Structures are given as structure tokens and as C-alpha cells.
Amino acid sequence: MSGNGIYNCYVGIFDEAFFGCTYSHISMFVSSLLFVGRQRYLIYIAGFLAKLGKKIKITFHLKVRTLGALEMTTVVLGSKTGIFRLNQTTWQCMTELQSDVLIEVEDFSFLLHKFPLINASPVLQKIISKFSSDEERDCAFALDDIPGGAHSFELIAKFCYGEKIELTSSNVVPLICAANYFSMNEDYLKGNLIFQTETFFSNEVLSNWKESIAALLSCEHVLHHAEELDIVSSCLNSLSSKVTYGKANYVQQEISWNGIACMKETKNSSGSGLDWWHDDVCSLNLYFFKRFIEVLNAKGHDPVDISNAVIYYARNHHFKENPNSTGNWSVDERILLEEIVELLPVQIGATSTKVLLSMLSASIMLNTNETCIETLEKWVGAQLHEATVEDLLVLNSRASDKAVHNVDCVKRLIKQFMEQNLHVNEITCNTPKEECLMEADSLQCVRIGAVAKLVDKYLAKVAQDENLMLKQFLALGSAIPTSARPSNDDLYHAISTYLEYHPQLSDGQKEKICQLIDVQKLSRDLCRDVAQNENLPTRVIVKALFCEMLDLKRSLANCGDGNNTGTEVGNTTENGDNMAEEKDVVVAQSTELQKEQETSEAKETKKSLGEKVTYFDLIMGFRFI
């Protein structure tokens, strides 16, 4: 290519019988060479014609122009210049002949001649014949539904007169639609506009990613016609075929939804990844973007890559929240979010739990439809084991709620998780103080245990919310089955925090919330902490001391095994002395507790419980309280 990026090739009109081909055939062949970028062959054709003494009269131009970082291929049709002149809103044909037809298109007027128009378009021939009469030479009419409007008709008029027109990826689609509207096909005239524009579109536009994007964007203004001519589908198929498949080298970007980070950035040594196309597709409107994602899905593209593209698009088109808003969000924001959720892949794990929770939070705040919220809750529930406490904390309540955190939504997420991961009833295992799930694979058990730990830690965080009602705390705490908690330490911390921040609770309410705890699943250190926690009911304290005493008895029994000899016996004796000392501490604490229970308040508590705690019961361990 030369420095200015322009190829010029002159192909002449010559007599028929060039290798048995007519001029039309040679002209079509030459045009094809121009469109597919085979300009060097035209040099030989021109030279051969020159040797035959053929005169070259028609000029074709193919040039490449640079627009910023985008190199756009253009084709110039025609050879004449200066025929048309715009005077305000009137296009005039500057020839010696007076115009005999006036055509109104939108806000523009075109003063033209009948013959060039009739020669290229049968539709214009019929319209001109309809509005012409024998009495009057001139005719006038309006064309209001031309694809592309006045600009497309301007190019068509110039084409009919042989004026230079430039085909680009931005104007070729409206021009194809307009050419088909006027039936400017090969049957009516060889080398007509439909052939010229479709050849350029197929060979130059669809073969290039950027050109295809520009062409698809131009379809928006002639959508109905572009759909009928399958231009939109052609652009989408071209784009989808150029998107690299697979996710091995995918570079995740630091993106956010609703102001919350959704992905961690991962570096790629090559500096490029499969997300190279995300920025370009973000320029598409929502309709075209949806169609593009549908094509990717139909072709089996990687769902993770699709999910990241959808989230990237959402971030670039999401309106920023108004910090002073009271919940009156724009309809566009709601519709956008609902559409984005519909585009996300349904495969579990295709979209990260963090992203889904961020979108769920936005859906609640934007008050989207129930289907949108239920879909997100179902997806989050299926992979809740991947969430963190910080992820759950993004779920804010609606503006009308007093509570800061949306524990009701978290409860629904837990329900979704249990429905998809818990398929059998609880039964007691052979191991003491534990329950397990028969026929549940190890992966399910691990996931359920992770969610149980997640919920308990979440409860500890939200327990500080003074507006969190007791029934909400109880509902969330009981949403996890007892068998799913190998330890109740985190649950105890959550209950202790709730009691601390809600001192107004009655003794009955405290008893109710403490029923969530299985004291036998508390560690020894926490059992001691329970004994010193003044916010807990007396019964819970006694249970903790009793369990600690039983644990010490078992330890003493194990250490007192007579089969141990030598050093083992010495170690056992020493350990036994330590255990005895710990037992004395427990007995002393129990004795002190017994004295406190002699007060009228303790007696009233025992009476309300329907049973009496005795020192003998506590030491001997005859029954559980």
C-alpha cells in the first residue's frame, strides 16, 4: 500500500468479445477484485487492455482511511464530482438540463431528472410514472419511509448519476436496505447498487471485527429492514465466530456492581486475554447485546466468559446510585438489571457468588420484579457455600425496613441451599454427640458445614443491630439443622452478642434464644465462659457446668486406665492430679451456683422450668437438665 493508503486502478469500457465476455462480466469481475482486496491483479488487466488498444474511461477507487485507532476500509463508487450541490435543505443537480422531478425526503428536497432514476430503479420508475402526466412535464412526490432517510437517498441519487459515493461500514447497511427498497438489483441493471453494497459488506465488513461492530451499530436505525435481509444475523454470526473460545488465559478485571468489588484482578504474562472483545460489545445497545449473547450460547461458548461479558456490560451501562435516594429508582435501571439477570448463564458456578449477591442487593434496592429476585436467590442458594460473611453483609434491607441487614433474604438463601443440598433426613450416627446425613456424599457434607459456619458468623455480625427482632434471629439460627453444626462455638458468640446488644429481653426470651445452643457441642473453654456470662439464663449455665464435669470425668477415666505402665503410668498420675484439680474448680463453681439458686429469684426460675436442680444431680451426672 502506498503512503497515503490509496489504490487507484483504471478499467475501461471496451468493445465486446474480450475472451467471449461482455463488458458487464468484465466490470463485475473487476469490481469483485476491488472488494476482496486483490488490487494487484488489476494492473495486469489494465496493461493487457492497453496492449489491445482499449481505452480506459471508468475510475474505481479503493482506499483505507484511519479513524483514531480504527482502520476502516472504504470503497468509492463512481467517477464524477460536482454534480450535486446542497443549498440549505435542497439538493440540486448541476447539469445543463433543467430538473423535471422534485422528491421530498424528510426535511430535504431533491431536484433531479427522471431518466437517471428510472434507469437504475424499477420502483422509482413506477412512482415517477404514477405522478407524471402528459400535460405536465414535471412531477413531484414525497418518500417518507426510505431506510436511512434523506442521507441514504442522497447516496442513491448520486449513484444513479455516477457521482462519487463512499461506502463505509457505517453507511453500507442503510444503503443496502435502501437499495433493496428501490429494487436496484442485477436483473434490472448490471453492476447495480445491491450488488456493489452487498459485495462490500460480505468481503470487507464481515471479515473484520471492528467493521462488523460498526455495521451492527448502524442497523439500529434501519432495524426492521436489516432483520428482514438477515444483516443483523450476519453481523452477529461474524462477531461470535471471532470471539476466542475457552477460558484458560482469561484475564479477570477489577469490576464492581453497585459500588462493590466483584472480581479480583489476575495478571497475564502476555498482557492479553479472552476479554479483548468486551469493550467493543459494550457499545451495542441492549437489544443487540442480548442477541449477541444468545448467539454465543447457541454456539456453546464458555459460560464463564459469557457471564463476565454480561457483568462487564452491566457495569458500563449501570446508572450510579443516588446516595440521597429513598427508593424511587428510574424504570431504566430496573429494566436493565432484570434484562442482565436473564442473560446470565444458568450453569452453577458460571457467575461468582460475590457478583450474584451484589446484584441481588441491587435488585432489592431497585425493587425489581419477583422473578428477578427469585432467580438470583436460587442461584446464590445453590453456591452459598462459596460466600463469605462480607458477601452476605451487602444485602441491605429495603428503605422502609428499620433493620440494617436483610436477614429475611439470608434465610431464603439458606432454604434454597438446603433444598438443593439436603436430600435425606437426619439420623443419629455411632459417634457420640454427633449427627450425620446418610446417603449424602462427602462434598455435600463439606458444603453444609461451610454454610453452617457462615451463618453463625453472619449472626454474630448482625446481632449488633439493635433493630434486629428476636423472631428474625431465631428464624435464621434455626434455619441450619443441628447435625450441620459440629461445633456451637460460633453460634454461642452470636447469641452472647445479641444478648449484650439487646438488654431489654425478658428471661423467657433469653431462654428461648438459648434453646438454639447445644451445650454438648461447646468447647471446654467456652463452657467456662458460659459459667461466667451473667446475660445467660441459669439453666444454660448449669448445663454448661454439667457438661464440663462429664467431660472431666471421661478424661479421668481414660487417664486412670490400669493397662498403662512405666512412663505412661507416671504421666497418667500427673494428668490425673491435674484433672482432679480441675474437677475441684468445677465443684466449687457448682457449689457457689447452688447458693445463688437459693435466692427467691433462682427458685422462681426453677419453678417455671418445672424441675429442680440439685447439687447431687450435678455431681453424679444422673440426668441431663
Residue 479 corresponds to which cell in the numbers above? 434455619
Q: Three-state secondary structure along 418-441?
A: HHHHCCCCEEECCCCCCEEECCCC
pLDDT: which is higher, 431 or 126? 126
**45-95 per-position pLDDT tens digit:** 544 444 444 433 333 333 333 333 445 788 999 899 989 999 999 999 888
Predicted local confidence at residue 532, as pLDDT: 77
Does pLDDT of 389 surpass 70?
Answer: yes
Confidence label for 190 from pLDDT (cuts 50, 70 and 90):
very high
DSSP class per residue in 24-60: HHHHHHHHHHHHTT-HHHHHHHHHHHHHTTPPP-EEE
3-state secondary structure of 85: strand
Distance of alpha carbon 495 from alpha carbon 464, whole angstroms: 10
**pTM given for the model:** 0.69
pLDDT: which is higher, 534 or 625? 534
Minimum mean pLDDT range among 206-210, 392-396, 464-468: 392-396
Residue 282: exposure state from Cβ atoms within 10 A (0-12, 13-18, ≥19): middle
The percentage of residues in the chain with a pLDDT greater than 70, rounded to a whole number, is: 64
Q: How many Å is the maximal CA-CA distance in the chain?
A: 134
Does pLDDT of 304 surpass 80?
Answer: yes
Minimum mean pLDDT range among 65-69, 187-191, 297-301, 566-570: 65-69
**121-134 per-position pLDDT tens digit:** 999 999 999 998 87
The stretches of 463-514 forming alpha helices (DSSP H) are 470-477, 489-501, 507-514
Beta strands in 511-574 (DSSP E): none
List the Cα angle 258/260/261 in 5-degree steps. Answer: 130
* Average pLDDT for 475-497: 87
From residue 177, alpha-carbon distances to 183, 187, 226 in Å are 10, 17, 7
Confidence label for 273 from pLDDT (cuts 50, 70 and 90):
low
* Average pLDDT for 517-534: 79
The percentage of residues in the chain with a pLDDT greater than 90, rounded to a whole number, is: 43
Phi, psi of 153 (to 5 degrees): -70, -35
Confidence label for 249 from pLDDT (cuts 50, 70 and 90):
very low
Does pLDDT of 293 surpass 70?
Answer: yes
pLDDT: which is higher, 299 or 520? 299
Beta strands in 96-195 (DSSP E): 101-105, 108-112, 139-142, 165-167
614 CB-near residues (< 8 Å, 6+ apart): none
Q: Three-state secondary structure along 591-616?
A: HHHHHHHCCHHHHHHHHHHCCCCCHH
Does pLDDT of 539 surpass 90?
Answer: no
Minimum mean pLDDT range among 9-13, 499-503, 563-567, 610-614: 9-13
**Quick check: 545 and 572 in contact, CB under 8 A?**
no
Predicted local confidence at residue 483, as pLDDT: 77
* Average pLDDT for 403-416: 89
